[in-house]
């Protein structure tokens, strides 16, 4: 007896210890699941708060710390310029006839001040070559300018002149006057006064250089034999998969002059190099600042689909099975084929005490079903402005599409070998969005949504009982939309919906006006399905 107790105790202890480990593991899983659920809820709450809390967004624009911003400001002339270029130094330049060309002006300034003067070759070209680029000359503008040596020699022979005011004036004022009238610029750097007409600047385009494209369509196409009715209907939206750098480069062309050159290779750097006059470069800089701000805007989107399905059905029936039997004759009243489903409750059983009515029965069936299904699908998304985003939740299942039976003959006799062919089907929710946030806060949204649901497979049986073949039949229901809408920040908008009601009543009686008490059945069904698609968007400004 004691030996038996000693053997049992270790088994009990091992069971208890293993049970404790199982409980601890379950508790750890519960804690991890609760923590993950809390994190997801907090993240979603923060995402939704940024969609609607306008006061919080305004508060983020104020920084309660000291900070510096703005373009650098040049220091005073006395700090960086030689004495001849300072504001209080007067200079008198006198030329025959009071007019002078750019080359002669540079030589006289050097002789008067001792400051070297350098003139860029393009500054000697005719000003007509730097007029705004027109559509008619867009093809010839790509060839660029002429060679500097030949153009400068030709320009020097017909060099334009400028009138210089008589008397003593500050030299910077005289240089500004001459440069303005000749359509050139001047600056002092590296101890040299340099006259120039064009500059080269490098701009940064804040856009992903990867090509992106989006295409969505929804509809039906008519494919019927000759002479049959054909129906075609559908909507398609498509975004070309061009490079953002190439698109920006094409938009820069109208800002340039005829001699301007723009280079953008579309590499990962996102840099655009432009050579043109200072005025044209300033226009390009203004445009790219606006474009960069638009390209770096972030758009928060919440897509919601709400489905409400309500069912209300009522079934009832009374079946009489009357049997009157005698030795000489027999009378039997069989019940009507019932419309009531087999799941309906049954009660009956009434039998007569007399022998001739033995076997008579009354069956009463009734069932009432009321059900409501609510499905809510919410998809939070965030993407860059003008960039497509696709979200998919899908399920792939397989079903038996074809069964072939092959007869195999052998010495032992004949036998059959079935061959099964399966197919796959994918259902789920597929969502594609392309937002375009404007400067005034308006959001132009292209949306494509398709939601498909597979109903339970139905089995169809063919053949005799000894050689049956079963196939599976699929049924797929879906709802989708392809459209373009206008949204306002933070305002939910119903972009699509679907409402379907179905009511049906069937009955069977011995006679059209006969009461249900004499036997019969009835079935009433009412169903309503409502689907609403809601989209909410919010814009976060870029840099």
At a CB cut-off of 8 Å and minimum separation 6, what does 477 contact? 452, 453, 455
10 Å CB burial of residue 318 (0-12, 13-18, 19+) is buried
pLDDT of residue 71: 67
Dist. CA 108–CA 447, nearest whole Å: 68
Beta-bridge partners for 408: 415
3-state secondary structure of 332: strand
Give residue limits of the domains in the chain: 23-50, 79-133+160-196, 203-296, 300-333+356-396+425-460+474-540
pLDDT of residue 341: 57
Dist. CA 331–CA 249, nearest whole Å: 97
Task: Note the pLDDT tens digit of each residue in 367-377.
Answer: 666 677 677 88
Q: How confident is the model at residue 152 (pLDDT cuts 50, 70, 90)?
A: very low
Would you state the structure tokens that stand for residue 396, as one six-digit string? Answer: 């792939």
Q: How confident is the model at residue 106 (pLDDT cuts 50, 70, 90)?
A: confident
Dist. CA 222–CA 532, nearest whole Å: 29
- 3-class SS letters over 277-311: EHHHHHHHHHHHHHHHHHHCCEEEEEEEEEEEEEE
Q: Over 80: is that where the pLDDT of 318 sits?
A: no
Task: Note the pLDDT tens digit of each residue in 303-314.
Answer: 888 888 888 877
Q: Which of 88-97, 195-204, 496-505 has the lowest mean pLDDT?
A: 88-97
Q: How confident is the model at residue 195 (pLDDT cuts 50, 70, 90)?
A: very high
Dist. CA 260–CA 197, nearest whole Å: 11
pLDDT of residue 454: 85
The residue-averaged pLDDT of 10-29 equals 62
- 3-class SS letters over 21-82: HHHHHHHHHHHHHHHHHHHHHHHHHHHHHHHHCHHHHHHCCCCCCCCCCCCCCCCCHHHHCC
Alpha carbon 8 to its chain's center: 66
The residue-averaged pLDDT of 59-63 equals 65
Dist. CA 70–CA 64, nearest whole Å: 18
Can you list the alpha helix ranges (DSSP code H) found in 258-415? 278-295
Distances (CA, A) of 523 to 294, 316, 318, 334, 531: 61, 7, 12, 21, 27
Distances (CA, A) of 269 to 31, 203, 213: 46, 11, 21
3-state secondary structure of 137: helix
Task: Note the pLDDT tens digit of each residue in 237-254.
Answer: 777 767 778 888 888 988
pLDDT of residue 78: 56
Dist. CA 500–CA 65, nearest whole Å: 58
Q: Between 425 and 355, whose confidence is greater? A: 425
φ/ψ of 234, rounded to 5, equals: 180, 165
pLDDT of residue 222: 60
Dist. CA 41–CA 271, nearest whole Å: 41
Dist. CA 50–CA 56, nearest whole Å: 8
Buried b (16+ CB within 10 A) or exposed e, 251-290: ebeebbbbbbbbebebeeebebebbbbeebbebbeebbee
DSSP conformation letters of 436-497: EE-TTS-EEEEEEEEEEEEPPPEEEEES-TTS-EEEEE--EEEEEEEEEEEE-TT--EEEEE
Mean pLDDT of the chain: 75
Q: How confident is the model at residue 77 (pLDDT cuts 50, 70, 90)?
A: low
Of 107, 184, 88, nearest in space to 176 by CA:
184
10 Å CB burial of residue 178 (0-12, 13-18, 19+) is buried
Q: Which of 65-79, 120-134, 206-220, 487-501 has the lowest mean pLDDT?
A: 65-79
Q: Over 50: is that where the pLDDT of 142 sits?
A: no
Beta-bridge partners for 187: 194
The H-or-E segment that residue 87 falls in is none
Q: Between 80 and 131, whose confidence is greater? A: 131
Task: Note the pLDDT tens digit of each residue in 156-185.
Answer: 446 688 887 777 788 888 888 888 888 899
Q: How confident is the model at residue 194 (pLDDT cuts 50, 70, 90)?
A: very high
Q: Over 80: is that where the pLDDT of 299 sits?
A: yes
The H-or-E segment that residue 152 falls in is helix 148-157
Q: Over 70: is that where the pLDDT of 434 sits?
A: yes
Q: Over 50: is that where the pLDDT of 478 sits?
A: yes
Q: How confident is the model at residue 228 (pLDDT cuts 50, 70, 90)?
A: low
The residue-averaged pLDDT of 126-133 equals 86
- Percent of the chain whose predicted confidence (pLDDT) is above 90: 9
Dist. CA 481–CA 494, nearest whole Å: 12
Q: Between 285 and 413, whose confidence is greater? A: 285
- Please say whether the beta carbons of 49 and 57 come within 8 A: no
Q: Over 60: is that where the pLDDT of 514 sits?
A: yes
10 Å CB burial of residue 174 (0-12, 13-18, 19+) is middle
Q: Over 60: is that where the pLDDT of 352 sits?
A: no
Torsion of Cα atoms, 81 then 87 then 92 then 93, to 10°: 50
- Percent of the chain whose predicted confidence (pLDDT) is above 70: 66
pLDDT of residue 151: 47
pLDDT of residue 275: 94
pLDDT of residue 231: 61
The reply to whether the predicted model has a pTM over 0.85 is no
Q: Which of 174-188, 204-218, 328-342, 415-429 has the lowest mean pLDDT?
A: 328-342
pLDDT of residue 34: 76
The topology (CATH level 3) of 79-133+160-196 is: Phage tail protein beta-alpha-beta fold (3.55.50)
Torsion of Cα atoms, 125 then 126 then 128 then 133, to 10°: 0
Dist. CA 142–CA 540, nearest whole Å: 38
At a CB cut-off of 8 Å and minimum separation 6, what does 268 contact? 209
Task: Note the pLDDT tens digit of each residue in 365-423.
Answer: 566 666 776 778 888 888 888 888 888 888 888 887 777 767 766 666 676 667 778 88
Of 419, 360, 433, nearest in space to 390 by CA:
433
């Amino acid at each position: 007896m004691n030996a038996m107790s000693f053997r049992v105790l270790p088994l009990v202890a091992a069971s208890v210890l293993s049970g404790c480990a199982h409980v601890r593991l379950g508790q750890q899983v519960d804690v991890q699941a609760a923590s993950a659920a809390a994190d997801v809820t907090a993240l979603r709450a923060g995402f939704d708060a940024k969609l609607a809390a306008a006061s919080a967004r305004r508060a983020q624009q104020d920084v309660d710390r000291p900070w510096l911003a703005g373009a650098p400001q040049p220091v005073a002339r006395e700090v960086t310029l030689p004495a001849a270029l300072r504001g209080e130094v007067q200079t008198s330049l006198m030329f025959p006839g009071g007019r002078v060309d750019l080359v002669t002006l540079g030589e006289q300034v050097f002789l008067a001040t001792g400051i070297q003067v350098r003139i860029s070759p393009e500054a000697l070209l005719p000003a007509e070559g730097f007029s705004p680029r027109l559509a008619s000359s867009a093809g010839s503008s790509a060839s660029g300018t002429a060679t500097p040596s030949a153009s400068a020699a030709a320009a020097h022979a017909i060099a334009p002149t400028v009138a210089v005011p008589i008397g003593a004036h500050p030299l910077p004022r005289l240089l500004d006057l001459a440069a303005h009238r000749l359509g050139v610029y001047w600056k002092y750097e590296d101890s040299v006064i340099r006259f120039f007409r064009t500059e080269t600047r490098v701009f940064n385009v804040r856009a992903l250089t990867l090509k992106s494209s989006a295409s969505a369509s929804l509809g039906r196409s008519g494919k019927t034999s000759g002479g049959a009715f054909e129906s075609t209907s559908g909507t398609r939206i498509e975004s070309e998969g061009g490079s953002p750098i190439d698109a920006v480069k094409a938009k820069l062309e109208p800002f340039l002059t005829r001699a301007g050159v723009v280079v953008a290779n579309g590499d990962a750097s996102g840099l655009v190099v432009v050579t043109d006059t200072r005025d044209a470069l300033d226009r390009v800089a203004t445009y790219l600042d606006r474009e960069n701000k638009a390209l770096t805007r972030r758009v928060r989107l919440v897509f919601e689909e709400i489905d409400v399905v309500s069912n209300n059905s009522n079934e009832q029936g009374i079946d009489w099975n009357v049997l009157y039997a005698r030795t000489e004759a027999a009378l039997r009243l069989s019940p009507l084929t019932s419309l009531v489903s087999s799941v309906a409750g049954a009660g009956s059983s009434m039998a007569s005490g007399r022998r001739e009515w033995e076997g008579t029965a009354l069956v009463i069936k009734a069932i009432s079903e009321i059900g409501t299904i609510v499905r809510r699908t919410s998809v939070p998304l965030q993407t860059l402005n003008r960039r497509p985003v696709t979200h998919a939740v899908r399920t792939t299942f397989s079903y038996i599409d074809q069964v072939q039976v092959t007869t195999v003959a052998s010495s032992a006799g004949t036998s059959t070998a079935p061959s099964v062919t399966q197919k796959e089907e994918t259902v789920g929710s597929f969502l594609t969005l392309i937002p375009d946030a404007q400067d005034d806060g308006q959001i132009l949204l292209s949306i494509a949504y398709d939601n498909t649901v597979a109903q339970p497979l139905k089995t169809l049986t063919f053949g005799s009982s000894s050689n049956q073949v079963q196939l599976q039949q699929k049924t797929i229901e879906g709802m989708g939309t392809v459209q373009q809408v206008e949204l306002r920040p933070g305002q939910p908008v119903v972009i699509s919906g679907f409402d379907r009601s179905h009511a049906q009543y069937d009955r069977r009686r011995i006679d059209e006006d006969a009461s249900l008490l004499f036997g019969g059945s009835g079935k009433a069904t009412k169903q309503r399905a409502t689907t609403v698609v809601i989209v909410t968007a919010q814009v976060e400004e870029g840099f």
